[in-house]
Amino acid sequence: MAGHGMPMSGSMSGLSMTAMNAQMLAELRPLSGRAFDIRWTQLMGMHHRMAVEMARTELGRGRAPRVQALARQIVAEQSAELTRMAGWLRTWGATEDSMPMPHMMPPAAGDTDRWFLAEMIPHHQGAVDMGRLVPARTQTAEVRTLAASIVRSQSAEIAQFRALLRGQP
């Protein structure tokens, strides 16, 4: 099991989003209490940084105004949550995860909007699954509150992404 601020066992570079999510869940499941809070916050921070990077790619290369609006919302919301989580880690005497973040590369040519929507569905599902672990493993009110907010907001965004991929407004 990885220590606080230490890389997860193995490397996540080259893993699919689904495999990366499964690896994070497997690491979190045996933990509880403060150890869970710290590792969940570290991993959710890495997860959020990846989403922000993907959203910035969409903002730089995408063309669809609705998709761009969702990307701006993700950057704003998840950047604020990153600041909040970094404060918790400092308070708990832990550091942010030092593991290099896997990069999600859009297609060299083609539809960045579609890429973004399609990749964000499993990405957000990973955050939802991590959030659902929280109630049984923590006594920390702020972690519970953030996790519930992530489950709620990212589940709603998944529905929006799917509707946009189907061509629905």
DSSP conformation letters of 10-23: S--TT--HHHHHHH
Structure tokens, 154: 């990212």
- pLDDT given at position 96: 87
- pLDDT given at position 71: 98
Structure tokens, 5: 């601020």
pLDDT above 70 covers a percentage of the chain that reads 84
Q: Where are the domains of the chain?
A: 31-97+105-166
pLDDT exceeds cutoff 90 at 13 = no
DSSP 107: P
- Give me the residue label for tokens 């896997």: 102
pLDDT above 90 covers a percentage of the chain that reads 78
Confidence of residue 3 (pLDDT cuts 50, 70, 90): very low
Confidence of residue 168 (pLDDT cuts 50, 70, 90): confident
The correct CATH number of 31-97+105-166 out of 3.30.930.10, 3.10.20.30, 1.10.600.10, 1.20.1260.10 is 1.20.1260.10
Query: What is the full DSSP assignment across 73-137?
Result: HHHHHHHHHHHHHHHHHHHTT-----SPPP--PPPSSS-HHHHHHHHHHHHHHHHHHHHHHHHHH
What is the per-residue pLDDT across 28-43, written as a single tens digit (0 to 9) for each?
A: 999 999 999 999 999 9
What is the per-residue pLDDT across 33-81, written as a single tens digit (0 to 9) for each?
A: 999 999 999 999 999 999 999 999 999 999 999 999 999 999 999 999 9
Query: Taking the model in full, what pTM does it have?
Result: 0.88
- pLDDT given at position 10: 37
Structure tokens, 158: 């998944």
Instruction: Give the range among 6-10, 65-69, 132-136, 159-163 with minimum mean pLDDT.
Output: 6-10
Q: Given 3-state DSSP classes, what are the helix, strand and coil percentages for the chain, each rounded to the nearest 5? A: 70, 0, 30
